[in-house]
Amino acid sequence: NAGVTQTPKFQVLKTGQSMTLQCAQDMNHNSMYWYRQDPGMGLRLIYYSASEGTTDKGEVPNGYNVSRLNKREFSLRLESAAPSQTSVYFCASEQGAYYGYTFGSGTRLTVV
Amino acid sequence: AQRVTQPEKLLSVFKGAPVELKCNYSYSGSPELFWYVQYSRQRLQLLLRHISRESIKGFTADLNKGETSFHLKKPFAQEEDSAMYYCALSPLGGNGGSQGNLIFGKGTKLSVKP
């Protein structure tokens, strides 16, 4: 049982480049989330998807887009990367309100 | 407003000393509360949740509704406990259903010295 799988683990982009971060879960969870983690800022929600076919903005959505491709997969796209998007990105999925989230191992992104 | 506050950014203790990581929340309803742990450069892992009233790796947490707190405690800290700890709140409705996303505190870095 792999849980939540994120790819890639590391990425360096030049300013203005685009990329997609992939996330897949094999636990049949309905809800999935994308967070960014920055020193001193904790975890900030970028986008989430309560169920297949729906997506909603979180606290810091600017500069990002998401796609809930199916129940398993939830991708995060940076259309034109900026240095301010240098961060560690975590994907998570949720079984239900009482169970908490299961997190992926993260993507460490550097934009130069 | 829904909020989770972890007042200490850094907590440093010696091995064998008791440790308490503070968490206060602001929510008008009855929340479900969690503690997550993140070891260096690893993913966040669920440490414990209030509803299960369990003790994981010697850690416990008690919900105090009067003080709106969910402090994490361990009587004797170990070096391997050094990590980042996040408190999180799941807002629940009157029927126990979810009323939104998990709300995280900014985290406390625990350093256990030998």
Burial (CB count <10 Å: 0-12, 13-18, 19+), residue B83:
buried
Number of residues that make up chain A: 112
Per CB-CB distance under 8 Å, the chain B contacts of A92 are 44
B99 falls in which pLDDT band (50, 70, 90)? low
d(CA B65, CA B30): 9
Question: Chain B residues within 8 A (CB-CB) of chain A?
Answer: 9, 32, 34, 36, 42-46, 49, 51, 86, 88, 90, 92, 96-98, 101-102, 104-107
pLDDT tens-digit map of A47-87:
999 888 899 999 999 999 999 989 999 999 999 999 999 99
- CA dihedral sign, ordered B53, B67, B99, B86: negative
Answer yes or no: do B34 and A42 touch at CB < 8 A.
Answer: no
pLDDT tens-digit map of B36-57:
999 998 999 999 988 777 778 8
Which tokens belong to B97? Answer: 């259903």
Q: What is the pLDDT of residue A1?
A: 61
Per CB-CB distance under 8 Å, the chain B contacts of A40 are 9, 106
Answer yes or no: do B32 and A104 touch at CB < 8 A.
Answer: no
pLDDT tens-digit map of A3-33:
999 999 999 999 999 999 999 999 999 999 9
The residue with tokens 């360096």 is A12
Expressed in percent and rounded to 5, the helix, strand and coil fractions of chain B are 5, 50, 45
Helix then strand count (H, E) for chain B reads: 0, 11
Q: Do residues B88 and B33 lie in contact, with contact meaning Cβ atoms separated by under 8 Å?
A: yes
Answer yes or no: do A103 and B44 touch at CB < 8 A.
Answer: yes
Per CB-CB distance under 8 Å, the chain B contacts of A42 are 86, 104-107
Give the CA distances from residue A112 to residues A17, A88, A108, in Å, rounded to whole numbers and listed in that order. Answer: 10, 15, 13
Helix then strand count (H, E) for chain A reads: 0, 11
Q: Greater confidence, A59 or A98?
A: A59
